[in-house]
Amino acid sequence: MDTIIKKTVEEVFGITDGQFQRAVVRIFPSTPATPKAINGFKFTTDSLRRLMIWSASASIPEGHFDAVMKRNLMIFGPTGCGKTQLLKEFCARTGRPLFRYQCSEDSEVSQLFGTWKLCKPIAKEEVDPEAGLLEKGAQGIAKAIERLAVTVKRMTGVGPEMTFVDGPVLRWARTPNAILLLDEWDQLSPTVAMSLNGILDGDVIEVPETGERIAISKGCLIAATGNTNGRNSAGGNGGSAALYKGVKRQNIASLDRFFVINATYLSEAEEKELLEKQVKIPSAAATAMASLAAKIRTQFMGLNEDAGANGEPLEFTITTRNLLNWGMAWQLLTVTGMDPQSAFKESLNMTLLDFGTAAERKAVLDAWDTIIGDKIS
Ligand SMILES: Nc1ncnc2c1ncn2[C@@H]1O[C@H](COP(=O)(O)OP(=O)(O)O)[C@@H](O)[C@H]1O
Ligand SMILES: [Mg+2]
């Protein structure tokens, strides 16, 4: 039996808050499906508290509660605030295998659960006996393999066949302590989303194509992410839902099966720290950059009817991903000889601003000039 190690929240997630004093984190032996941790990922107390309760649902002893606890967690919030990374990091640090499925409007039930695939069809029974011998390269090898397959089929009666290939849901269900990540869940068509209600309830999965019945393995959990709450709102934390293309209103019965985190960007102070730690940006510059990011976001979020108006709205935002990339591009530009002031603008333009309209570019650069002034030369 695999050994599960128990550690403290501080050891695993680097958070010292007293409210986690008695919490125990279970660490599973890593598998090839366990993601790799990144250096310096920042957990926040608020989201970690919920991750802990959600993951506890998979390990509470039978009979502890008489009611059934839900094992599903939805994280919704603005683009690039770290929803996907949070789940990857959680898996990386606890050793859990992660099966990620990128949802889209075109997702089909068969992509999630699995489908019949033909390994290698035999196009014709008669093949040129010299096939593959004279041709070089991949083409020659492919022909030679086909010739071999036909010969084997003639001699044994067995040839390439249809095989049922498990989708991410079945691979997850067969792996103990695994997490199924339904990324951008609110993109799914509501019918496909409803087909997941069985697994959200922890039911045995019946595969109609093969007749197999698969019980979800011990310790398995489900997480979903999205830019909206599945009810056409970004929840007041990240721009108007209308800016996120393709999101759908989901059935309330699906939503009911999730615990929820309404995520948002890290605070200005936390992002400053990330810029310093992960990208080695000098303190004064990191302060200015984090401050611009906070300013842009207030205006982006001001677009959201539930967020209240906060100045002139912007139709784009700066994500944590882009804030860090701005810093990395700036580093490389200054190291190769550009003066720091010009490098700030060039790296911001190439990371983000050239996507904006002329007016948006001007608004952001003016704000930057005010923030940076002559603080850095
Ligand atoms: N808390 C954090 N600590 C460190 N880096 C973060 C954090 N949140 C986000 N990032 C950075 O931002 C990037 C984008 O995050 P991601 O999870 O893809 O966003 P989302 O899924 O919300 O759109 C990550 O790859 C990571 O580099
Ligand atoms: Mg994501």
pLDDT tens track, the chain, 377 positions: 568 999 999 999 999 999 999 999 999 999 999 999 998 899 999 999 999 999 999 999 889 999 999 999 999 998 889 999 999 999 999 999 999 999 999 999 999 999 998 766 555 555 555 655 566 677 777 777 777 777 777 777 666 678 899 999 999 999 999 999 999 999 999 999 999 999 999 999 999 999 999 999 999 999 999 998 888 777 766 666 767 778 888 888 888 999 999 998 999 999 999 999 999 999 999 999 999 999 888 877 665 444 434 445 566 788 999 999 999 999 999 999 999 999 999 999 999 999 988 988 998 999 999 998 766 65
pLDDT for the residue numbered 321: 93
Same structural domain for residues 214 and 278?
no
Question: What's the rounded Cα separation, in Å, for the pair 66 and 76?
Answer: 30
Closest listed ligand to the CA of 263: 1
* Residue after which a domain boundary falls, among 201, 232, 262: 262
* Residue after which a domain boundary falls, among 245, 262, 279: 262
Does the residue 35 lie in any domain? yes
Does the residue 377 lie in any domain? no
Report which protein residue has its CA nearest ligand 1's atom 26: 321
Structural domain including 132 reads 120-160
Atom of ligand 1 nearest to the CA of 77: 22
Atom of ligand 1 nearest to the CA of 44: 1
Same structural domain for residues 291 and 344?
yes
Cα 83 to averaged position of ligand 1 atoms, centre (Å) = 7
State residue 95 phi and psi, 5-degree precision.
Answer: 75, 5
Does the residue 299 lie in any domain? yes
pLDDT for the residue numbered 223: 98
Which of 73, 320, 325, 326 has most ligand 1 atoms within 8 Å of its beta carbon, as the pocket-test mutant? 320
Closest listed ligand to the CA of 186: 2
pLDDT for the residue numbered 124: 55
pLDDT for the residue numbered 40: 87
Closest listed ligand to the CA of 244: 1
Same structural domain for residues 61 and 188?
yes
Instruction: Give the residue from 179, 197, 91, 370 showing the smallest Cα distance to 362.
Output: 370
Report which protein residue has its CA nearest ligand 1's atom 27: 321
Total of domains in the chain = 3
What angle is formed at CA 64 by the lines to CA 1 and CA 30, rounded to 5 degrees?
30
Does the residue 258 lie in any domain? yes
Instruction: Give the residue from 224, 202, 197 showing the smallest Cα distance to 214.
Output: 202
Cα 180 to averaged position of ligand 2 atoms, centre (Å) = 14
pLDDT for the residue numbered 305: 43
Same structural domain for residues 215 and 295?
no
Report which protein residue has its CA nearest ligand 1's atom 15: 82
Which of 268, 321, 324, 351 has most ligand 1 atoms within 8 Å of its beta carbon, as the pocket-test mutant? 321
Q: Are 269 and 207 in contact, with CB atoms under 8 Å apart? A: no
Q: Which residues line ligand 1 (CB under 6 A)?
A: 41-42, 79-85, 225, 266, 274, 320-321, 324
Same structural domain for residues 239 and 205?
yes
Same structural domain for residues 243 and 285?
no
Are β-strands 114-118 and 162-166 bridged in parallel, bridged antiparallel, or unpaired? antiparallel
pLDDT for the residue numbered 240: 65
Same structural domain for residues 95 and 126?
no
Same structural domain for residues 76 and 216?
yes
163, with CB counted inside 10 A (0-12, 13-18, 19+), is exposed
Same structural domain for residues 141 and 252?
no
Same structural domain for residues 197 and 312?
no
Does the residue 138 lie in any domain? yes
Same structural domain for residues 203 and 99?
yes
Angle, helix 340-351 to helix 320-335, in steps of 10 degrees: 140
Question: What's the rounded Cα separation, in Å, for the pair 320 and 328?
Answer: 12
Report which protein residue has its CA nearest ligand 1's atom 12: 321
Report which protein residue has its CA nearest ligand 1's atom 9: 82
